[in-house]
Amino acid sequence: MTDGNSTLPDQNTSSTGQTEGSEVITRDEADITLPELESHLFECADIIRNRVDKTDYKEYILPLVFYKAFQDTYQDNYERVLNEKQEEGIDHQVAVKLAHDEAFHEYVVPKEYRWNDLLSANNTALRVDDALRKFEELNDQFDGISTVEYSSVDAFTQQEDNRLEELLRHLDETNLSRYRVPPDMLGEAYMDLVKHFAEEEGRDGGEYFTPPEIVELMVKILEPYEKDTSVHDPTCGSGGMLVQVAEHLQKVQKVPEDHWRSIRFTGQEINPTVYAMAQMNLAIHDVTGEIQKGDSLSNPQFTESDSELEHFDYILANFPFSARWDKDTLKDDSYGRFNDLEKLPRADRGDYSFILHMANQLKETGQAAIVVPHGVLFRKHESKFRDYLIERDLIEAVVGLPENLFQNVSIPSAILVLNAEKPEHRSSEIQFINAADEEFYTELSNQNELLDEGIDHITSIFKDWKTIERRARTVSHEEVAENDQNLNIALYVDTTEPEEDINVEDELAKLRELQNERDEIEPQMSQHMEVLDYE
């Protein structure tokens, strides 16, 4: 960071900001509701609709929402410190200088790029580009939060109908400061916006957004999260899984702040735009974490040395299904992830390359919950990879999910639960859970959604290691071996719908009734046939 004097904010703030010496609103006095905030943010897309491709909405809107929230928070924090120093009797000019000191701020907002400066700039798009670049320079924890140039978009440089100016004015209507909008509320609105963009993009949106109900199930399967542990997602997308673990600790486990703050949250993402989204997502939720950019298979960023991966207590992931991977290069993997295999996964189907990568990232007591396509469970040419995991007693459970849970993707999926140190009573066993029944989910207009009670039921089955007819069964490794390491849930749990019991007397009565009706109708039909001269 630079010297604090070079980043003093101008005294003029946005229309929603505070002026020097004014009283700062506390979080308890926030006067916006979540639906109002969500509506406010959703309108951003309407402003640039038909001016920017809908697949690019996230690239132009999310960085501005992020920047507005952080500049509002900086200004409110500046006001808070200034008031405190003046109440202590410190001279006004000295108090102003202290309030600008970086020691009182988590990050720095450049003084020449306040929101009012962006609104009043002659060339708004260039000004926004410079503001985001400068913000990154002054704050080392943020890297590449903007992956586009606003000045390259015609709709953002026109004099008569400048949509960027309209977007800035719209965002200026609401103060997004952390002191006025609690991080969990702004974070939820932010993630709803991310979900909205994923829906706009259709199938491609699923690459960075996992439905929160699925994440909640994964989070609950791995709970509790002990103090001073680590949570990692090697294909983290927009960072939703990491954020949801942090929120689970705060709202469900209700641990003290020093507990959840002690947990190390890390993730890696290959897509530069989505990598930026993940950084912003964690920051908006007030979750301290480390997101790295790159391919976690070809270029893992979390390593102990050139030959050893970093290991984690908990891993949650939804990797890209059946993606290509660099098989030729990684056949001599320096981290030894695939050294014990006679053959590697196919180059055009890297599912098990991701699964084996995560298995190698687990600590000796580590656990993982991984979303997988059903093919991983039974494809014949991948039996050797299942055998590898089963021999090491890493697979704890297979949870079959309902179809059509993901946006515009109906492919059936499951959650593969790994545990490097299974309890003794679970040793050499695998639990199979059929959660595809209607009791676990509800049908929406365009996709299905897991129910809260469905999530709790699945979690209870897993935690209690239950065997329930048609729902769950624990199976020995010997039985799995008899099925050639096939993990298809239907081999171990009856997933067919039961036929209704037949009441023979009732059915015979119906038959007699139909026969009587036929006997009454047949003479009439014969008479009509004679009149019409039909034989």
Tens of pLDDT, residue by residue over 327-338, are 999 988 999 999
The closest of 178, 245, 199, 188 to 218, measured between CA atoms, is 245
Residue 138 inside a domain? The answer is: yes
Structure tokens at 79: 């006001």
Distance of CA 506 to CAs 436, 501, 509, 519, 520, Å? 33, 11, 5, 20, 22
Residue 194 CA to its chain's centroid (Å): 9
pLDDT score for 18: 41
410 and 336 in one domain? yes
Q: Give the position of tokens 């492919």.
A: 411
pLDDT score for 497: 63
526: exposed, middle or buried (Cβ count in 10 Å: 0-12, 13-18, 19+): exposed
Q: 146 lies in which domain range?
A: 4-181
Q: Give the position of tokens 């009283």.
A: 23
92 and 162 in one domain? yes
Q: What is the DSSP letter of 22?
A: P
345 and 236 in one domain? yes
What sections of 49-204 are H helices per DSSP?
57-87, 92-99, 115-119, 124-138, 163-171, 183-201
pLDDT score for 502: 66
386 and 269 in one domain? yes
The closest of 55, 48, 34, 72 to 192, measured between CA atoms, is 34
243 and 98 in one domain? no
506 and 486 in one domain? no
pLDDT score for 511: 74
pLDDT score for 19: 39
Residue 286 inside a domain? The answer is: yes
Q: What is the DSSP letter of 468?
A: B
521 and 389 in one domain? no
Structure tokens at 141: 């924890």
pLDDT score for 204: 60
Structure tokens at 159: 């004099």
pLDDT score for 136: 94
53 and 101 in one domain? yes
CA–CA dist 368, 313 (Å, integer): 8
The closest of 455, 461, 376 to 412, measured between CA atoms, is 376
Residue 94 inside a domain? The answer is: yes
pLDDT score for 246: 96
The closest of 51, 338, 30 to 189, measured between CA atoms, is 30
Strand partners, 11: none
305 and 161 in one domain? no
Amino acid residing at 436: A
| Global confidence as pTM | 0.85
Give residue-wise pLDDT tens across range 252-269.
999 999 999 999 999 999
Q: Domain count of the chain?
A: 3
377 and 525 in one domain? no
CA–CA dist 36, 93 (Å, integer): 39
> Which residues in 305-333 are b (16+ Cβ under 10 Å) and which e?
eeeebebbbbbbbbbbbebebebeebeeb
Residues of the chain with pLDDT under 70: 1-31, 202-207, 407-409, 497-502, 528-535
109: exposed, middle or buried (Cβ count in 10 Å: 0-12, 13-18, 19+): buried
76 and 57 in one domain? yes
316 and 226 in one domain? yes
